[in-house]
Structure 1
C-alpha cells in the first residue's frame, strides 16, 4: 500500500499543478462501515482532513457519490443555518472554489476527487475536463492495483 499511497499523493500534486489549484484530495468510501473518509491530500494546511468522516449521502463528497456527477463550486461561503458537516473539507482547508468529481472503480462510484482554491475562481471548461479525465485515470490506476494485488 505504501507505493500506491505515494503514487496517489504524487498524482494529487500533479493535478494541483496542472489546474493551478491550492488543494487536491481523494475521499474514499468504506462500505463496511458505511462512511466516507478523506484519505489522501496535497496542498493541505494541516491534517484535519484525515479526521473528517461522513455518511455517503452527506456533504459535498456524498452529493457527488450519490449523483455520480461532478459538482462545481464557484464561490463557497457558508451561510447561517448550514450544517458545517456538509462542508467540512471546504471549511477545514478554507476553500472558496472547488471541482468535485466522482471516482469510479469497477463501474461503481467509490469516492471523489476534489481540487480547490482558497480564493474565488470560476473554473473554465478545460480545467473541469482535465479534473474529470484525471479522476478516470486515478480510478483505473486504483482498479488495476486492486485487480493485481497479491493474494
Structure 2
C-alpha cells in the first residue's frame, strides 16, 4: 500500500464531489492492522457529522462490506424503495449521512478489493444509471494506488 502515502485522497474526493455535484463522498479502506478484513471510512467529504468514524464493517455488511465482498458496483436510486426502515441499521452510513440515493464501486489492488468508493445524495432518485456511469467514468481506471475494474452491466447490484 505504498502508493497511498503519495496520493492525496481527500483532494481527489473533493474534486469528484464537485464534478458529480454529490452531497457526500466516502472512501472506505481495508484496515490492515486487524487479523480479519474490516473496512472503515477513511476519507470523506460533505459529511454531516463525524459519526462515520465509528463505523467498522466486515465483509458482506453495510454498503462497503457488500461491494467489498462481491467486487461488484452497487447503485440504489431510492433507498426508501429498496431498504425497509427496520433494516436501515444495517447501513449506518445511510443513517448518519441521511443518504437517499447512492452508487458505490470497488477499488482493486493486485486483483483484490482493497477499498470502496461511495457517492451519495440526500435526495431520492439523484443517482440515476446515467449519473452512475458518469461517476465510474470520472473515477476512471485508476484512483491513486487502486484501480477500478469494469465488469459487465448485469453484474451491478441494484438493491
CA RMSD of aligned residues (A): 2.4
Structure 1, residues 11-36: CA drift from partner, whole Å, max 9, x if none? 11111111111000000112534211
State whether residues 59 and 69 of structure 2, in contact with CA within 8 Å, keep that contact through their aligned partners in structure 1: yes
Shift of 1:5: 8.3
Partner of 1:118: 122
Gap regions ≥5 residues in structure 1: 145-151
The unaligned stretches of length 5 or more in structure 2 are 148-159
Over 3 Å counting, the alpha-carbon distance change for 1:83 and 1:45 in structure 2 is closer
Superposition deviation, residue 93 in structure 1? 0.2
Quote the residue 1:72 is aligned against.
75
Q: Would the aligned equivalents of 1:101 and 1:131 in 2 still touch at CA under 8 Å?
A: no
Encode CA deviations 1:115-149: one digit per residue, 9 max, x unaligned: 000011243444322322416321xx1259xxxxx
Please name the residue that 1:147 is paired with. Answer: none
TM-score, length basis structure 2: 0.77
Deviation string 1:70-122 (CA, Å, 9 cap, x unpaired) is: 100111135243150x2101111000000011011112111100000001124
Alignment-derived partner of residue 36 in structure 1: 39
| TM-score where L is the length of structure 1 | 0.81
1:33/1:22 Cα in 2 relative to 1: closer, same or farther (>3 Å)? same
- Paired residues in the alignment total 140
Alignment partner of 1:88 is 2:89: no
Equivalence map 1:2-151=2 (5 Å): 4=5, 7-31=8-32, 32-77=35-80, 78-82=83-87, 84=89, 86-133=90-137, 134=139, 136-138=141-143, 141-143=144-146
